[in-house]
Amino acid sequence: MENVLRPLIVIGGSVVLTLLIGWATDLLLRKADARHGETPLWGLLRRARVPYQLVLCAALLRGSYDSAKVLEEHRVGIGQILTLVLIGSAAWLVIRIAAAIVETTYTRYARAHRDPARVRRVRTQVTLITRVVAAVVGVVAVAAMLLTFPAMRAAGASLLASAGILGIVAGVAAQSTLSNMFAGLQIAFGDMVRIGDTVVVDGEWGTVEEITLTFLTVRTWDERRITMPVSYFTSKPFENWSRGGAQMTGIVYWHLDHSAPVDLMREKLRDILRECPAWDGRACDVSVTDSTPNTMEVRALVTAKDADDIWTVRVTVREQMIAWLSTAHAYALPRVNTADAALPPGLTPPPRSPDGSPSRRAHEPPRTSR
């Protein structure tokens, strides 16, 4: 009877005690979250209740398993498994607590500062700090798990002796990975590009959606995702439209006839922009920027508060101006000129045939009879 009750008491007591402590801790965190609504720390710490309970259960079972006297022939192996579970769950708990603290710090900073550029910069740094902490804790946890095996402890001296050579070999083999990691840290703390920035890379326009230690993801305007190594942004030029402010100036071009009413187009542009909510009211202008034998190039300059709004303003101006020209000033649209060319002074136009067409081209010499 004792052989049955002792394992039930030890194992069942450990599980019940874990559940009770976990429930009490979660209750305290819930009350603290309700009392201190200005900080999300307590609510974020509640996300760590699963690794917290795993740590408690593994620690209780590891400490009381010898008293259970069950599966004596596998006592060492079970104890090793419980130790590994304890180390892994402890690492998981540390990562969750660190993420909660870092996220709380970022939330307070975002509430205190209204500058979107600074907030995005801190967000990028916070994200990479969280990933670095998770990577370091994970490596330490794996190393601790390996050291629990006697064979690994015995080989520790030889591993330390060859650490220098292994480090050189690993550095050469992982040169690309290491360069990307250092580039990620440089981007995070060098303020080159931030999460939420509007960038143009390789001719693609999009928004930075994710930055890790090794790669960066850009979400394009048509909802595609472009993933590239972070070393790209430290070795090649790219456009960052959010750098120094999100305000932008856009340009719309038309190719029109030389008789197009430019002054009336300026007035119409102002009317169009007054009805366009995306225009920020900073500037607008219409200018003739080029001329060809058949058409002239007319440019409209407009402004908006960010890249999305400047796109809306440009397409609105382009569409409504073309529609207005088509209905009110159709002569201003480009056309093929089929009229007779004006002759230089002193030359008379050639005689025309009965059907109205010239009898011969102006440059042809008169025909002579032989």
Taking CA atoms, 176 is separated from 110, 167, 189, 215, 220, in Å, by 34, 15, 20, 12, 26
CA distance 65 to 59: 10
Residue 338 has what pLDDT? 65
At residue 252, the pLDDT reads 93
| Residues 54 and 24 occupy one common structural domain | yes
Residue 322's domain is classified under what CATH number? 3.30.70.100
Question: Is 91 found in the same domain as 59?
Answer: yes
Dist. CA 21–CA 310, nearest whole Å: 56
pLDDT category at 47 given cuts 50, 70, 90 is confident
Give the phi and the psi of residue 303 in degrees, each rounded to 5.
Answer: -130, 160
Look at the chain and report how many structural domains it folds into.
Answer: 3
Q: Are residues 198 and 257 in the same domain?
A: no
Report the C-alpha gap between 183 and 205 in whole angstroms. Answer: 22
The pLDDT, as a whole number, for residue 237 is: 79
Q: Are 296 and 279 in contact (CB under 8 A)?
A: no
154-168, 169-183, 200-214: the lowest-pLDDT one: 154-168
Domain closes at, from 112, 134, 158: 112
Helices 262-274 & 307-328, crossing angle to 10 degrees? 130
Domain boundary among 112, 143, 168: 112
pLDDT at 363: 46
pLDDT at 207 over 60: yes
Q: Cα–Cα distances in Å, from 7 out to 10, 28, 34, 91?
A: 5, 31, 40, 28
Range among 56-65, 204-213, 228-237, 255-264 with highest mean pLDDT value: 255-264
The answer to whether the beta carbons of residues 317 and 269 sit under 8 Å apart is: yes
- Are residues 303 and 212 part of one domain? no
Strand pairing partners for 218? 208, 226
Distance, in Å, from the CA atom of 138 to the CA atom of 130, rounded to the nearest integer, reads: 12
235 and 254, same domain (yes or no): no
Q: What is the pLDDT of residue 184?
A: 65
What is the pLDDT at residue 230?
78
Per the structure block, which two tokens stand in for 321?
């101006």
Q: Phi then psi for 208, rounded to 5 degrees?
A: -70, 120
Specify if 164 maps to a domain: no
Is 12 found in the same domain as 99? yes
**Domain C-terminal end among 112, 146, 164:** 112
List of residues 6+ apart from 294 with CB closer than 8 A: 334, 336, 337
- With contact defined as beta carbons under 8 Å apart, do 273 and 284 qualify? yes
* 235 & 313 share domain: no
Write out pLDDT tens, residues 271-287: 999 999 999 888 889 99
Which has the closest alpha carbon to 350: 337, 338, 367, 364? Answer: 364
Task: Report residue 214 as tokens.
Answer: 């090794």
Q: What is residue 174's predicted lDDT score, i.e. its pLDDT?
A: 46
Between CA 238 and CA 268 the distance in angstroms is: 36
Q: How confident is the model at residue 156 (pLDDT cuts 50, 70, 90)?
A: very low
**pLDDT above 70 (res 182):** no
pLDDT reported for residue 173: 42
Asked, for residue 236, whether it belongs to a domain, the answer is: yes
Q: How far is residue 80 from each of residues 62, 161, 239, 268, 294, measured CA to CA in Å?
A: 9, 27, 54, 80, 86
* Strand segments (E) across 79-224: 198-201, 204-211, 215-220
Domain that holds residue 221: 180-240
335-350 residue pLDDT tens: 776 666 666 676 666 6
Can you point out the beta strands (E) in 35-181? none
Q: Is 15 found in the same domain as 59?
A: yes
Please give the pLDDT value at position 5. 61
Lowest mean pLDDT among 149-158, 196-205, 249-258: 149-158
DSSP code, position 289: E
- pLDDT the model gives residue 166: 47
Tell whether 279 and 316 lie within a shared domain. Answer: yes
pLDDT category of residue 160 using cuts at 50, 70 and 90: very low
Give 2-46 pLDDT, tens digit per residue: 555 666 676 777 778 888 888 888 888 888 877 777 777 777 787
Which tokens go with 282? 């900073």
Task: Give me 360's structure tokens.
Answer: 């011969």
- Domain check: are 7 and 63 in the same one? yes
Residue 96 domain flag: yes
What is the model's pLDDT at position 19? Answer: 83
90: enclosing H helix or E strand: helix 75-112
Mean local confidence (pLDDT), 189-208: 80
Q: What average pLDDT does the chain have? A: 76
**What global pTM score does this model have?**
0.48
Cβ atoms within 10 Å of 153's Cβ, excluding its own: 11
Q: How far apart are CA 352 and CA 346, in angstroms?
A: 19
94 is a domain residue: yes
**CA-to-CA distance for 302 and 286, rounded, in angstroms?**
9
265 lies in the same domain as 235: no
Is 92 among the domain residues?
yes
Q: How confident is the model at residue 96 (pLDDT cuts 50, 70, 90)?
A: confident
Q: Is residue 350 part of a domain?
A: no
Per-residue pLDDT band for 370 (boundaries 50, 70, 90) equals very low
CATH of residue 222's domain is 2.30.30.60
Predicted local confidence at residue 263, as pLDDT = 92
Residue 156 located in a structural domain: no
Q: Are residues 6 and 103 in the same domain?
A: yes
Cβ pair 362, 347 in contact under 8 A: yes
Residue 119 within any structural domain of the chain = no
